[in-house]
Chains A and B, each alone.
Chain A
Amino acid sequence: MNNISVLMTCPMFPYLEQELETRFNLIKLWNPSSSKPEFFKNYSNFIKAVVGNTKVGADADMIDSLPNLEIVASYSVGLDKIDLDKCKEKGIEVTNTPDVLTNDVADLAIGLALAVLRKICVCDQFVRGGKWIRGDFGLATKFSGKSVGIVGLGRIGSAIAKRAEVFGCPISYHSRSKKPNTNYIYYSNIVDLAANCQILIVACALTEETHHIVDRKVIDALGLKGILINIGRGAHVDEPELVSALVEGRLGGAGLDVFENEPDVPEQLFALKNVVLVPHVGSDTEETSKAMADLVISNLEAYFKGEPLLTPVL
């Protein structure tokens, strides 16, 4: 398959690059030569596959500029950076990396909730800064038993629920529709969910409907006793509203893995002790990155061998 040209949209994971390079003719979009107009004149007709991720996917412009594109294999489970309608229209296959990253993302969601309520980042800073010798830290909030509300009870949402349950946390959720076979409490309205839980966790896919699903009303309903955990997409949350609520002390706290304009993070959040910020690392472990990369490779190999795709989206 070394004569098949695959376009990688941005640096993702060295192992993935190496594996793609040994199997295909890998073209890196971020190479200086690739950004020149000649690139598209010379190479665009040859590109049959795009490997994208959460930063640079395959939008309408890119798809239009690659007339022989047959498959988009995303190094992510989220599809918000891929123009799915255009792919459908042109018969382009799309694959993603579900399941292999579910546990890591769920682990981080719980880790962020623990960190915000129990103030571990602040504790660590307190000890590191030599303050323990001079004084006491004060009180944190217990995590076990707190009510958890999950937005989106898909693979990741369910994995979060399964973990939170073991801490004695009552679970409720909001979803497009009620899920059969669960004992969790369903709220058809996200504001009601927020009003009835203490830890609100965003775990749904980003679509037009879920854009800014966490808005001022939801933040107000969550209130002083509540915290927001976002391991979905930055655009799930009205970020300026979230920032005001935190800065003005109207929301109990937040643990955020994603932001509207990554890698830019609102600086007003930096000094807040009830806010924990991590740089979109939900699936960023050695093990999962490799598993995701293997899945991307397997999907591409299957496609070009004429075998069934492992994790097709369309």
Chain B
Amino acid sequence: MAPHNNSYPSQHDLPNVLILKLPPSFVIFGEHFFDSAKFRFLKAYESSLPLPQFLLAHAQSVQAILSSGGAPVTADTICLLPNLRLVVTTSQGLNHIDLSECRRRGIAVAGAGTIFSADCADSVVELLIDVLRKVSAANRFVKQGLWSSQGDYPLGSKLGGKRVGIVGLGNIGSEVAKRLEAFGCSISYNSRNKKPSVPYAFYPNVGELAANCDALIICCALTDETYHLINKEVLSALGKDGVIINIARGPIVDEKELVRCLVEGEIRGAGLDVFEHEPDVPHELFALDNVVMSPHNAVFTRESFEDLRKIVVGNLEAFFSNEPLLTAVNLDDQPHFSG
């Protein structure tokens, strides 16, 4: 009988990482995307057992969960996993994780850190230029052969000199500000707290920010405080020449009200990567040329997914080696989202 070689632990010796639902990364890249020699995945979605029973069956062995935006980590789930000490999420947002419960139980949460900030900021710039300069609409116009038959396309609006109001000046908001400044925009913002060393004008409430900008950019987290933050009053303050760009979370905006404003011409236009009830998008928007939409995929680039792979595997390997996490979330600083 050959001696057992301790350098190559068998699959049974590897710690379990629970995955509740199939993550987008697996859909695109296959189920070995986050493979590592240091842990193995326990895939709840492959079992015929209902989730609570599955969790009960594996409760003792689960120390870590790999979550994605569509796979919430609720208090109920956490409750069934007494040895859970880490939640790693593949998403930028944390609203799908019961952060208060994690804090109470001493469960660490590792997020995406700043790996997605560039793509998110690029998406904002792309959507804003598209809405103001009518890029997608003009592309449709040309590709339908209308340039020869109908003549010149209607004029757009200049980006330079526009006042940009950023809701949430975190890492993504800062990357947006840096970019739009280079296009000659002036920047102001609203955030939970005024940032001391930042050269931009601070507005203590979103309504005032909206009243004093031409383009309102949503870059904040979805929490109990920011749910429907962008409501009728804010949209009214933004006004007829205002544009709204949302790459954060759909529920931050009162979508019914936004649709009404767009249909009735009460704001200039919108660039939206996120919606309240994805993948359902209000059909009224489909007929509007002053709206540009993407299917919640601002960070879906090859490059960001490769960065994600490194950080997810890195966090899990660090955890199982008792080393510091790469992108630990400070739970003391995170407001809750009740969902």
Contacts and interface: CB of A to CB of B under 8 A. Distances in A.
Judge: A and B partners, yes or no: yes
A265 B142 contact: yes
A285 B134 CA distance: 10
B126 A284 contact: no
B162 to A, nearest CB: 10
A107 B179 contact: no
B143 A111 contact: no
Nearest to B130: A120
A288 B122 contact: no
A257 B1 CA distance: 73
B182 A140 contact: no
B334 interface: no
B129 interface: yes
Interface string A126-138: 1110101100111
B333 interface: no
A167 B122 contact: yes
B184 A103 contact: yes
B118 interface: yes
Nearest to A286: B155
Given A136-B24, A139-B301, A279-B141, A121 B156 contact: no
B153 interface: yes
Contacts of A271: 143
Q: Which of under 10, 10 to 19, 20 to 34, or 35 or more describes the interface residues of A?
A: 35 or more
A185 B294 CA distance: 35
B135 A112 contact: yes
Contacts of A137: 294-295, 297, 300
B133 A286 contact: no
B182 A162 contact: yes
A91 interface: no
Interface string B38-58: 000000000000000000000
Q: Which of under 10, 10 to 19, 20 to 34, or 35 or more describes the interface residues of B?
A: 35 or more
Interface string A236-278: 0000000000000000000000000011110101110000111
Contacts of B181: 166
B126 A132 contact: no
Contacts of A124: 136, 292-294
Nearest to A163: B182
A21 interface: no
Contacts of B119: 142, 144
Interface in B160-199: 160-161, 178-179, 181-184
28 contacts: A110-B129, A114-B122, A115-B130, A121-B139, A123-B293, A125-B140, A132-B295, A136-B24, A136-B295, A137-B297, A139-B302, A140-B300, A141-B301, A142-B119, A143-B126, A163-B182, A166-B178, A166-B181, A265-B142, A270-B142, A277-B138, A277-B142, A278-B139, A281-B134, A285-B155, A285-B158, A286-B157, A286-B158
Given A115-B139, A263-B148, 18 more contacts: A104-B158, A104-B160, A108-B133, A110-B129, A125-B136, A130-B286, A132-B279, A136-B27, A136-B28, A137-B297, A139-B305, A142-B301, A144-B119, A264-B148, A279-B142, A286-B155, A286-B156, A288-B158
